[in-house]
Amino acid sequence: MNTFKIKVYADGADKNSMLELYKDPAISGLTTNPTLMRKAGISNYASFAQDILLTIKNKPLSLEVFSDEFDEMYRQALIISGWQENVFVKIPITNSRGESAQPLIKTLSDEGVKLNVTAILTLAQVENTLASLNPNTSAVISVFAGRIADTGRNPENIIRAAKAAISKLPKVELLWASVREVLNIFQADKCGCDIVTVPPDILKKAELLAGKDLTELSLDTVKMFERDAKAAGYQI
């Protein structure tokens, strides 16, 4: 993992995993979202966030608002931002009705709130967000490249165009989100992304397999088949 130019963020909501990854020098930051938190069984958002922030102090941590109304998103963003200096507040590019969050993004950025604008899938959304950001306030633009790929489109062209667009704002970083496989980390690095968010299972796979000799991996695969066939006791 240390061979990549790109910064690797761990994406998840399991407390023990997050705190362990925080200690890893190869991990530059952490992110989470309400969906991951719900899957992890978290019922009290504030308690969970403030608990992990007792340890996660020296690396960026992105925490997302969870209201669908912009006034309430604003209120939540100010509270979340106030918890600690290393917190970035995740704001979705729209609400669930498809209404643009750009006015809210502009207001918060102008007030100095560090943002992670999330759920972006189009270059137009990137450009509109850039127009709303204060150049003096740090921000992250999260392009969900994995979801773009899920539609059969190659996300690399959008990522490269987004990277070119943000080059005018030195305090804005581009993040490759929704990693599905180890290859995506290499793609994000090649495209010049600043950050890639990776779930713990893909991180483990990358540490185990990235760059491994393919002949050796082929033999490992055959050994797995042989081992599992014996364990199953198959006969013909």
Q: Which pairs with CB-CB distance under 8 Å and at least 24 residues apart come from 82-87? A: 83/49, 83/50, 83/53, 84/53, 84/57, 86/56, 86/57, 86/58, 86/59, 86/60, 86/61, 87/53, 87/60, 87/61, 87/62, 87/63, 87/114
Span 60-88, average pLDDT: 98
Residue 102's H or E segment, with its range, is helix 102-110
Query: Residue 3: pLDDT band by 50, 70, 90 thresholds?
Result: confident
Q: What is the CATH number of the domain that holds 43?
A: 3.20.20.70
Q: What is the pLDDT of residues 42-53, one digit of tens each?
A: 999 999 999 999
Residue 226 placed within a domain: no
Query: Residue 2: pLDDT band by 50, 70, 90 thresholds?
Result: low
> Quick one: how far is CA 140 from the chain centroid?
10
Residue 189 placed within a domain: yes
Residue 232 placed within a domain: no
The parent domain of residue 196 ranges over 7-210
Note the pTM of the prediction, 2 decimals: 0.94
The total domain count for the chain is 1
Residue 228 placed within a domain: no
Residue 231 placed within a domain: no
Residue 229 placed within a domain: no
Positions annotated as catalytic residues are 90
Q: What is the pLDDT of residues 173-194, one digit of tens each?
A: 999 999 999 999 999 999 999 9
Residue 236 placed within a domain: no
Span 135-140, average pLDDT: 98
Residue 161 placed within a domain: yes
